[in-house]
Amino acid sequence: MGLIARTIEAAGIPTVTIIGLREIAERVRPPRAVHLKWPFGHPLGEPGNRAQQLSAIHYALRALYEVREPGTILEPGWAWRRQEYSTPHDWTMGE
């Protein structure tokens, strides 16, 4: 994941990687990463939970906009199945 992301970034295209294991991301150092502490097989959230999935995507897209330090790993701190997620009309960029 990190090698591919760095190659894409070298071509001038920003990337963000959604990861499940922080330890691996710390070793491969993708340019930007979002660490979601969710079960394997659910990188964007629970099946059918649209608000959760969109929140994960939105958080990753914000990382593209906000993160400037290479190797940054963000953690939103969301709890699996115990979190309230916003809907798209609540989203803003650059706050």
pLDDT tens digits, residue range 32-64?
999 999 999 999 999 998 889 999 999 999 999
The answer to the question of residue 40 being in a domain is yes
pLDDT tens for 7-21 read 999 999 999 999 999
- Using alpha carbons only, how large is the chain's radius of gyration in Å? 13
Give the total number of structural domains in the chain. 1
In a domain, 95, yes or no: no
For residue 2, give the amino acid letter.
G
Question: Does 47 reside within a domain?
Answer: yes
Q: pLDDT value at position 30? A: 93
Residue 51 located in a structural domain: yes
Give a yes or no: residue 82 inside a domain.
yes
Domain extent for 78: 2-90
Give the model's pLDDT for residue 7: 94
86 assigned to some structural domain: yes
Say which residue the tokens 């660490």 belong to: 35
Q: Is residue 74 part of a domain?
A: yes
For the record, the structure tokens of 4 come out as 């591919």
**Distance separating the N- and C-terminal Cα atoms of the chain:** 28
